[in-house]
């Protein structure tokens, strides 16, 4: 009887094992024909967007990715490296072409001279190093050089990808978390640039005193990585703007004619996208630089009725903000040696960016100069408005006519003067717009074929009440004009996010496939309690070492006890 029990138990164990093996084999066979991946995180941290999956499945040639974020990294950068590796693994899984990934340690060299040569080669390719200061186990400060960059290579072309989002004022943990949020967009952006076969056109309008080519050189250079850029004036052909995906109107100073407004209006009615950068006031900046005084007057470029019809109004005023740049001001008395002191320039605010829009998500402050305020008007249910840029919580609106005197600036601590907050300066509009020329005659001189479009197709536009946001400074270097980086503050030697904001704005306007939505991804930052870790370091070490051994011992005892009971 005991022998029969032993045989039946053995036979039962054999059947059980066979069923497990059969299930594993069946799962492997099914996974070969039916591909799926599971992401159990609440934010879908490891899931790719549908657009990304389609992009990887449409690749016609292999791509190579060189990641230089490697070597002796701290916990934060090690986490960013792991997130990059996970993303690239996901891209490999959905790609029908090989994705070759190399992690390269730039700091690994046989000698200091070889290391310096490697650093110089990376810097020459635009891969700038980041210096990290941290303390070792003995509390000694250690300096580390890290290259948070990747290069995507295909078709013998290379696109650099910055893996690190560095927003001034944010903590290291916040910046590394923002970098993780941006990874999919940055990597796929590089792949799309390499795979693009049809380059869309955008245009800067001229003829109404807009910024010159030199004054938008840096923005044009950044946009030329994605678009073919033209410049030109409007004539009498209402279809002149149709070939362009986006039209940029950068700081006009001369009023638009009705013919020009009609061409822009009908371009929008047929689905065109416009980036408006229009000032609400006129300031004599030359006299301000020379005498420290200037008068603020309203600026009318004959666009108020048109923008009002689309749902927005640029007010003829100036916003002052305590959160602003500093400029050197001569505080010496007359007939004395000049003595310059940095003073807050309230008329150059550092505008806050919206964390909810894909245009401004994970962007730092944007530098403006004599910006005006914006109001949303109308009650149209066919359009959606998203505020992009606002002032801080200590602002003031100065309505003209007004007078500026550098020697009599307001006190930054005066809460009665700076009593406004979050004044809008830029807004994105999307939806269906009503034509400014609805129920009106075609302007004289326009050769119009067919009826006037009374209502637009679904489209987008961005209105910014400051043209200097897109203007880069130009300086004379030995008789040659040199454009400074857009958003660069030469006095503080600091770079603001103007260039990234303009590029994102134009890409948002031209985006038909929803790629910009990848910039809206948000991952919750889950931080450890550093105080608890430090105080209970030894206890946690013992728990991590002893707990697995204890669990293994309990499992072994239960297994032995159950087996003995079964075959007793």
pLDDT at 386 over 70: yes
The answer as to whether 80 is a domain residue is yes
Mean pLDDT confidence for 86-93:
91
In this prediction, what percent of the chain has a pLDDT beyond 70?
Answer: 89
Asked if residue 396 and residue 508 are part of one domain, the reply reads yes
In the structure encoding, which two tokens stand for residue 352, read together? 């806050």
Q: Is residue 341, in this structure, part of any structural domain at all? A: no
Q: Please indicate, yes or no, whether residues 245 and 358 belong to a single structural domain of this protein.
A: yes
Residue 229 lies in a domain: yes
Does any domain span residue 567? yes
Q: What local confidence, expressed as pLDDT, does residue 139 receive?
A: 61
In the DSSP assignment, the letter for residue 183 is: H
Is 81 within the bounds of a domain?
yes
SS3 at position 121: helix
- Domain span at residue 538 reads 528-568
Check pLDDT > 60 for residue 345. Answer: yes
Do 63 and 160 belong to one domain?
Answer: yes
Quick one: pLDDT band at residue 36, thresholds 50, 70, 90? Answer: low
Of 139, 168, 195, at which residue does a domain stop?
Answer: 195
* Report for 31-35, 326-330, 483-487: range of highest mean pLDDT: 483-487
Round to whole Å and give the CA distance between 45 and 103.
22
The verdict on 366 and 487 lying in the same domain is yes
Q: What is the pLDDT of residue 235?
A: 86
pLDDT tens column, 45-64: 667 888 889 999 999 889 99
| Tokens read off for 133 | 């200061």
Please say if the pLDDT value at position 534 is more than 70.
no
Mean pLDDT for 451-479 is 90
CA triple 181-516-200, angle to 5 deg:
140
Question: Longest Cα pair distance anywhere in the chain, in angstroms?
Answer: 120
- Asked if the structure places residue 330 within a domain, the reply is no
Distances (CA, A) of 107 to 281, 297, 520: 53, 57, 34
Q: 96 or 3, which is more confident?
A: 96
3-state secondary structure of 330: strand
Q: Verify that 278 and 386 share a domain, yes or no.
A: yes
Flag whether 538 is in a domain.
Answer: yes
Q: What is the 3-state secondary structure (H, E, C) of 366-397?
A: EECCCCCCEEECCCCCCEEEEEEEECCCCEEE
In the predicted structure, residue 545 carries a pLDDT above the cut 60: yes
Question: Do 229 and 107 belong to one domain?
Answer: no
pLDDT higher than 50, residue 190 = yes
The residue ranking higher by pLDDT, 108 or 496, is 496
CATH number at residue 364: 3.40.50
Chain centroid offset of residue 521 CA: 11
**403 or 10: whose pLDDT is higher?**
403
Q: What is the pLDDT of residues 246-287, one digit of tens each?
A: 999 999 999 999 999 999 999 999 999 999 999 999 988 777
d(CA 196, CA 183): 20
User: What pLDDT digit, counting tens, does each position of 550-559 carry?
Assistant: 888 888 888 8
Whether the pLDDT of residue 3 is over 60: the answer is no
Same domain as 402, residue 295: yes
- Omega before 25 cis (within 30°)? no
Strand 273-277 vs strand 246-250: parallel, antiparallel, or unpaired? parallel
What number is the average pLDDT over the span 203-211?
Answer: 94
User: Would you say 511 and 359 are in contact if contact means Cβ atoms under 8 Å apart?
Assistant: no
Residues 401 and 297 both lie in one domain: yes
Q: Band of the pLDDT at 218, cuts 50, 70, 90? A: very high
What's the confidence (pLDDT) of residue 314?
A: 96
> Within this chain, do residues 128 and 156 fall inside the same structural domain, yes or no?
yes
Are 148 and 273 contained in the same domain? no
Domain-ending residue, one of 160, 195, 230: 195
Q: What is the pLDDT of residue 548?
A: 86
Token digits of residue 435: 């034509």
How many domains are contained in the chain? 4
Q: Do 55 and 72 share a domain, yes or no?
A: yes
Examine residue 358 and state whether it is found in any structural domain, yes or no.
Answer: yes
pLDDT at 4: 46
Band of pLDDT at residue 96, cut at 50, 70 and 90 = confident
CATH code at 137? 3.40.30
pLDDT: which is higher, 402 or 449: 402
- 447/126 Cα distance (integer angstroms): 49
Q: What is the mean pLDDT of residues 139-151?
A: 83
**Measured between alpha carbons, how far is 496 from 498 in angstroms, rounded to an integer?**
6
User: Is the model more confident about 109 or about 3?
Assistant: 109
Q: Give yes or no: residues 207 and 189 share one domain.
A: no
Higher local confidence (pLDDT), 31 or 48:
48
Provide the whole-model pTM: 0.84
Greatest mean pLDDT among 123-137, 311-325, 368-382, 441-455: 311-325
pLDDT at residue 255, as a whole number: 95
Q: What pLDDT shows up at residue 438?
A: 87
């Amino acid at each position: 009887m005991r022998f029969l029990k032993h045989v039946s138990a053995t036979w039962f164990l054999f059947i059980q094992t066979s069923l497990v093996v059969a299930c594993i084999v069946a799962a492997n066979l099914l996974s070969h024909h039916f591909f799926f991946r599971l992401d159990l995180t609440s934010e879908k941290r490891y899931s790719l967007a549908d657009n990304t999956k389609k992009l990887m499945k449409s690749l016609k040639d292999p791509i190579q990715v060189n990641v230089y974020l490697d070597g002796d990294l701290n916990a934060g950068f090690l986490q960013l490296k792991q997130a990059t590796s996970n993303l690239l693994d996901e891209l490999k899984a959905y790609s029908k072409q090989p994705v070759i990934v190399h992690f390269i340690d730039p700091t690994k060299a046989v000698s200091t001279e070889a290391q310096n040569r490697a650093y110089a080669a990376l810097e020459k390719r635009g891969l700038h190093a980041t210096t990290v200061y941290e303390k070792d186990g003995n509390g000694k400060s250690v300096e580390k050089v890290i290259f948070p960059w990747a290069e995507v290579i295909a078709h013998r072309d290379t696109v650099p990808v910055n893996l690190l989002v560095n927003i001034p004022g944010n903590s290291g943990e916040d910046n590394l978390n923002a970098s993780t949020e941006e990874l999919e967009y940055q990597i796929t952006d590089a792949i799309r640039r390499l795979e693009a076969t049809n380059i869309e056109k955008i245009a800067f309008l001229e003829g109404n005193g807009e910024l010159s080519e030199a004054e938008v050189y840096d923005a044009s250079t950044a946009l030329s990585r994605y678009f073919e850029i033209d410049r030109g004036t409007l004539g009498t052909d209402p279809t002149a703007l149709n070939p362009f995906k986006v039209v940029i109107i950068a700081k006009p100073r001369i009023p638009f004619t009705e013919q020009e407004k009609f061409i822009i209006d009908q371009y929008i009615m047929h689905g065109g996208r416009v980036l408006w950068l229009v000032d609400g006031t006129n300031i004599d900046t030359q006299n301000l630089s020379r005498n420290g005084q200037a008068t603020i007057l309203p600026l009318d470029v004959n666009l108020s009725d048109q923008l009002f019809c689309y749902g927005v109004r640029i007010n003829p005023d100036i916003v002052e903000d305590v959160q602003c740049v500093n400029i050197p001001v001569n505080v010496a008395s007359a007939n004395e040696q000049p003595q310059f002191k940095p003073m807050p320039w309230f008329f150059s605010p550092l505008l806050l960016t919206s964390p909810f829009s894909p245009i401004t998500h994970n962007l730092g402050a944007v530098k403006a100069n004599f910006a005006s305020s914006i109001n949303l008007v109308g009650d149209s249910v066919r359009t959606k408005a998203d505020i992009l840029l606002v002032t801080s919580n200590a602002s003031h609106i100065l309505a003209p006519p007004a007078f500026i005197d550098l020697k009599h600036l307001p006190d930054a601590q005066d809460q009665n003067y700076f009593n406004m907050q979050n004044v809008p300066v830029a807004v994105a509009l999307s939806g269906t717009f009503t034509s400014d020329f609805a129920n009106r005659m075609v302007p004289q001189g326009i050769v119009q074929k067919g009826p006037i479009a009374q209502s637009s197709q679904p489209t987008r536009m961005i209105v910014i009440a400051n043209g200097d946001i897109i203007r880069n400074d130009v300086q004379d270097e030995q008789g040659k004009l040199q454009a400074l980086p857009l958003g660069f503050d030469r006095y503080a030697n600091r770079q603001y996010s103007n260039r990234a904001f303009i590029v994102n704005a134009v890409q948002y306007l031209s985006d038909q496939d929803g790629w910009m939505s990848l910039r809206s991804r948000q991952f919750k930052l889950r931080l450890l309690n550093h105080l608890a870790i430090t105080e209970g370091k030894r206890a946690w070490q013992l728990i991590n070492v002893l707990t697995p051994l204890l669990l293994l011992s309990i499992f072994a005892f239960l297994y032995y006890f159950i087996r003995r009971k079964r075959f007793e």
